[in-house]
Amino acid sequence: MKNNNKLFAEFMGYELRNNLYCFFTPPEFDIWNKHSEEDRKSIESIFYNFEEDELEYHSSWDWLMPVVEKIRTTAGCLINSDSQEKKYAFMLFSLSVTTPIETVYLYVSNYIEWYNSVYKK
């Protein structure tokens, strides 16, 4: 199975900086102003930075399901959505709860690749 973890991380809002996928909290949370520079570096290294080989979307339900949820909340509210989007979303959400993680990963990967081809031009 082709590993698209980089694609998943970017879809989830992670940015690649210095070979690390970093997630930055939105400014409205303002948590960084409450910590010293030293604390911020420590917090970021523990919670927000991952090397590409540390991304676990392909093997962990804990990583994969937030991606599925993001797709559900975005695709589910697009009334006039593209028929391809409906197709990919329907295929993903028609899966059984007993579907192996590799299959869900593949369906999510197909959706994100389609999504990026339409919305990230």
With cut-offs at 50, 70 and 90, classify the pLDDT of residue 2: low
Q: State the average pLDDT over residues 78-103.
A: 77
Structure confidence at residue 27 (pLDDT): 46
Q: State the average pLDDT over residues 26-39.
A: 53
The whole-model pTM stands at 0.71
Q: How many CB atoms lie within 10 A of CB 9?
A: 21
The mean of the pLDDT values for the chain is: 76
Q: How many CB atoms lie within 10 A of CB 17?
A: 10
DSSP class per residue in 40-73 = HHHHHHHHTEE-GGG--TTT-HHHHHHHHHHHHH
Q: State the average pLDDT over residues 44-55.
A: 69
Of residues 36 and 28, more confidence is placed in 36
pLDDT in tens, 10-27: 898 888 777 777 766 544
